[in-house]
Amino acid sequence: MDQLIQHLVNTLILGGTYALLGIGLTLIFGIMNVVNFTHGALYTVGAYLTYLAVAALGLDLFLALPVAILGGLLLGALIEIVLLRPLRGQDIDTTMLVMIGAGIVLQSGTLWIFGGVAKAVPSPFPEAPLQIGPASVSWLRLFVLGAALLLIGLTYALINRTKLGLAMRATFQDADTAALMGVNVRVIYTATFAMGSALAAAAGALLGPVYVVHPQMGGPAELKAFAIVILGGLGNVTGAAIGGFILALAEELGAGYISSGYRDAMGFLIIIAVLLYRPTGLFAKAERVG
């Protein structure tokens, strides 16, 4: 029982960052119809920006997070303008391959610059964990959960309460009609990709200090993000948020009670099962899988 409670606490912490990753990807996937194979690389970049900000600039973790988010925002905008904008209207496979190429460049770039040795980001929090009944949580992980929930809330507010969010939702429903109504779809695409990338970088910035930062961390994270998006349904932000927690739960329980070696298999099994038996995701009302 105690073990189960500990697993549930871990699920909450992990689920928050997974939700961030998933929301970023589902926005890009849903609004732009781009399978973003740079998502994992941006997660890595976010983690390394935090490492740089803390280790090289001497900032604390609270200031490093905005640095990472800003970096993700700018890099995402750059990728969209340079690579995706000229490819608009191309088939999905071409953009997918270009994104794979960009992902390789970013990942190998971080490996080249920072080397293959994993880096630890120093934590400003006390070592002793917080005891809640039988479960214990480190202060760092609590901060990660709080920051993730705050960012999820801000994303929701941006999508549902601002003019930009309205334009994004309109573009998701029908880009042509949105353009006719005066929405600058090109700007919306750039904003969407930049925002999704910023969320991926934020997730990396939050999980980097919890684990360690290394150039290959993005690969598994990216595939987890795809699992979350598929679980939640294409372009479904709420679905992605819930999907993040479901994947975290599946991983925690799978690692705890089946075998820790198969922790990363959970996301793939979810992708396979959902796509083959309920391809519109768990929460979709009516969407077509093309």
Partner 1 sequence: MSRLLHALPPLALLAALAALPLALGSNPYLLNALIVTGILTIGAMSLNLLLGYTGQLSLGHIAFFGIGAYVSALTSLGFDVELGFGLRAVHEPWPAAVGFVLAVVAAGACGYLIGRLSFRVRGAYFVLVTISFAEVVRLVALNWVELTQGPLALTNIPAITLGLPGLGTWTLRTKLQNYYLVLAVGTLCWFVVARLVGARFGRAMRGLKENESLALSVGINATRTLTVAAVVSAAMAGAAGSLYAHYLRIIDPEVFAFTTTVGMVIMVVAGGKGTLMGPVVGGLIFGLLPVALRPVMAPEAQWIVYGLVLIVILFVMPRGIVPGLAGLVRRRPARAVPVLEASPEAPR
**Distance in Å, CB of 74 to partner 1, minimum:** 19
Is 32 or 178 the residue whose CB approaches partner 1 more closely? 32
* Long-range own/partner contacts, residues 215-219 (CB < 8 A, 24 or more apart): 215/44, 215/107, 215/108, 215/110, 215/111, 215/114, 215/116, 216/107, 216/111, 217/40, 217/43, 217/44, 217/47, 218/39, 218/40, 218/41, 218/42, 218/43, 218/44, 218/103, 218/107, 219/40, 219/107
CB atoms < 10 A from the CB of 101, how many?
13
> Closest CB to partner 1 among 102 and 199?
102
Least distance from C-beta 264 to partner 1, angstroms?
6
Return the residue of 77, 279, 284, 287 that touches partner 1, per CB under 8 A. 279
Under the binding rule (CB under 8 A), the answer on residue 272 touching partner 1 is: yes
Report the C-alpha gap between 45 and 47 in whole angstroms: 5
Listed ranges 132-140, 154-162, 181-189, 275-283: which one lies at the site for partner 1 (CB under 8 A): 275-283
Where residue 89 falls (left for φ over 0; alpha for ψ -120 to 50; beta otherwise) is left
Rule CB under 8 A: which of 51-110 touch partner 1? 83, 86, 92-94, 96-98, 100-105, 107-109
Q: Which is nearer to partner 1, 96 or 142 (CB)?
A: 96
Q: Does 120 bind partner 1 (CB under 8 A)?
A: no
170: left (phi over 0), alpha (psi -120 to 50) or beta: alpha
Tell me the closest approach of the beta carbon of residue 175 to partner 1, in angstroms: 17
- Interface residues with partner 1 (CB under 8 A) are 29, 35, 83, 86, 92-94, 96-98, 100-105, 107-109, 111-112, 116, 219, 223, 226-227, 230, 259, 261-262, 264-265, 267-269, 271-272, 275-276, 279, 289-290
